[in-house]
């Protein structure tokens, strides 16, 4: 009887261990994706705010603030992704723009054609706006399905603004080498380099550095 009881106790312990391992495996299989999705959602919300022109702390808003005041601003985006800064003098349709691409399992957009988030503005034509009415920045977004998630891209294009008196104002982006800059950094430094005026054309050069 003692032997049978000992065997029963061993079997009970083994069963408890097996059940525990099964529960842990189930929690890992079903819980981890939910945790990852929740993290991706939080990251996406941070990125949305970072590119929202109506947010005073957003990247497009800070670029215009630096251009107007001459101050230096340092922003940090806690998200993994690839930055591209295309300076004004680049011979490319993407000249004078900032692009940020990242992977996410959640998205608020699913289109391969860029959509303008700036009212009345186009991502392709980038025609001149009006001083006092429009912003220099045109913010666009697109999202492409890839693997088990989406490759999401935010774009900031800087256009000219024309005043009622005919003066044209331009914010022109520069980089440390004044060529295309790519970076996976999270800290962005924005500074004003110069203001040049030729006749009715006023140019403010703003340097973008990413580390």
pLDDT in tens, 145-162: 988 889 999 999 999 999
Q: How many CB atoms lie within 10 A of CB 144?
A: 14
Strands of 129-130's sheet in order across:
73-76, 187-198, 201-210, 168-174, 161-162, 129-130
pLDDT in tens, 37-95: 778 888 989 999 999 999 999 999 999 999 999 999 999 999 999 999 999 987 888 99
Give the pLDDT band of residue 125 (cuts 50, 70, 90). Answer: confident
- Closest to 72 measured CA to CA, from 204, 183, 206: 206
What token pair was written down for 1? Answer: 């009887």
What token pair was written down for 167? Answer: 């003066």
The C-alpha angle 188, 190, 192, rounded to 5 degrees, equals 165
Decide: pTM greater than 0.75: yes
């Amino acid at each position: 009887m003692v032997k049978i009881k000992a065997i029963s106790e061993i079997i009970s312990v083994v069963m408890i261990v097996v059940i525990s391992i099964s529960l842990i495996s189930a929690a890992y299989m079903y819980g981890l994706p939910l945790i990852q999705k929740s993290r991706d959602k939080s990251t996406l919300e941070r990125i949305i705010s970072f590119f929202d022109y109506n947010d005073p702390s957003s990247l497009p808003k800070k670029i215009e603030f630096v251009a107007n005041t001459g101050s230096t601003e340092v922003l940090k985006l806690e998200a993994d992704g690839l930055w591209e800064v295309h300076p004004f003098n680049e011979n490319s349709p993407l000249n004078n723009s900032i692009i940020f691409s990242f992977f996410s399992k959640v998205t608020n957009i699913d289109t391969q054609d860029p959509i303008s988030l700036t009212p009345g503005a186009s991502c392709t034509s980038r025609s001149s706006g009006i001083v006092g009415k429009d912003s220099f920045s045109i913010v666009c977004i697109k999202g492409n399905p890839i693997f088990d998630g989406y490759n999401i891209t935010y774009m900031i294009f800087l256009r000219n603004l024309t005043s009622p008196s005919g003066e044209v104002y331009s914010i022109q982006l520069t980089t440390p080498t004044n060529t295309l800059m790519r970076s996976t950094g999270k800290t962005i430094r924005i500074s004003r380099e110069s203001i040049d005026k030729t006749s009715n054309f006023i140019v403010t050069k703003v340097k973008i550095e990413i580390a």
